[in-house]
Amino acid sequence: ANKEDGRKGHFWEDRFQAQRLMDILAILVCVAYVDLNLIRAAMASSLVGSNFTSIQARILGSQNQMAPSLALGKVSICDVQATENIKDLSKAEIRRRIEAARKQADPRMVLKDAWIAKLTIDANQSVNPNDSHLSKSGLRASDRGFLDVTLEQYIKILYESLRYRPGNASLQEPSEELMEVSKTLGVAPENIRWMISDYKRIFRRSCRVGNPESVRKETQRRGRKWTKYSRHSELFYSQKSVEFDVENGRFRRAKIRVSTSESSGKSTAS
């Protein structure tokens, strides 16, 4: 790509980084942050106009819009089986088989969100982490959802987070959808909005994002003395709101502000 553009250096702005999302809140704020990237960068004016994002595919899929797919008729398999199937094949042979499958495939129309992971967790499905719920359609890896919200709730949370500006009184009252999520996860709604709108700054140095206690337990389970995670997790994973200390350039617990009104009265004696 650099050769085509006549340039040198890193093709991407930042180096590769992988973060492990430890709980539902971490998944929610990370996925929401990514879905809002194009709007935040002024490359799109709406969610449905955010090309190549999962939220665009979900909205169009909910409107029964279709797209061609070559995946129909295939069966999802686990990583172990997939590795076993190709471990003795050369890269050239793998490419040849892929190209042959594409030429022989008969493209059919499917919903535009049929290939991405389901959003909403199905209450009737097993919660066992070892149960991957492999997709029966072959269009996606798994039929298991990953968030405990509906698409309508998720969209409202996205737009609310997009308008949110810490310290701005224009959007102080959280929506019912966000309040419900906040109550379920045990985190202040302002903190959720802030994590979505400023995810990169809050968690950019983290290898793991999640509840601090969960991160510590996972570190101990892996036999390590420490792990690289954001100290901000201690602040944001709380029912207490967070504010930014401009003078020190740090996040901190929001101070409780009590407004008092002075009243004066006159008394007369006779």
pLDDT confidence of residue 269: 41
Question: Of the given ranges (1-5, 102-106, 178-182), which has the lowest mean pLDDT?
Answer: 102-106
- State mean pLDDT over 117-136: 75
pLDDT in tens, 246-257: 787 788 887 765
At 123, list the tokens: 């209450």
Question: 108 has which bridge partners?
Answer: 69
Taking a C-beta distance cutoff of 8 angstroms, is the pair 229, 209 a contact?
yes
Q: Is the pLDDT score of 239 beyond 80?
A: yes
Q: Is the pLDDT score of 166 beyond 90?
A: no
The structure tokens 């009737």 sit at 124
Confidence of residue 130 (pLDDT cuts 50, 70, 90): low
At 100, list the tokens: 């042959």
Query: Using N-to-C axis directions, what is the helix angle for 54-62 and 151-163, rounded to 10°?
Result: 130
pLDDT in tens, 194-224: 999 889 888 887 888 888 888 888 888 888 7
pLDDT confidence of residue 270: 35
- State mean pLDDT over 131-160: 84
- CA separation, residue 53 to residues 64, 123, 164 (Å): 17, 26, 21
At 115, list the tokens: 């290939």
pLDDT confidence of residue 256: 60
Q: Is the pLDDT score of 259 beyond 60?
A: no
Distance CA 145, CA 245 (A): 38
Q: Is the pLDDT score of 185 beyond 80?
A: yes
pLDDT confidence of residue 268: 42
pLDDT confidence of residue 261: 45
pLDDT confidence of residue 267: 42
pLDDT confidence of residue 127: 60
Rounded to two decimals, the pTM is 0.75
Average pLDDT for the chain: 80
pLDDT confidence of residue 58: 95
Q: Is the pLDDT score of 150 beyond 80?
A: yes
pLDDT in tens, 75-123: 556 677 778 888 888 989 988 887 887 776 666 788 899 889 899 988 7
Confidence of residue 31 (pLDDT cuts 50, 70, 90): very high
Distance CA 2, CA 4 (A): 5
Q: Which residues contact 112 (CB under 8 A, 6 or more apart)?
A: 57, 60, 61, 65, 66, 67
Question: 243 has which bridge partners?
Answer: 252
Distance CA 235, CA 211 (A): 10
Percent of the chain exceeding pLDDT 90 equals: 24
pLDDT confidence of residue 162: 86
Taking a C-beta distance cutoff of 8 angstroms, is the pair 56, 64 a contact?
no
Distance CA 157, CA 155 (A): 5
pLDDT confidence of residue 151: 94
At 221 the three-state DSSP class reads helix
Distance CA 22, CA 221 (A): 14
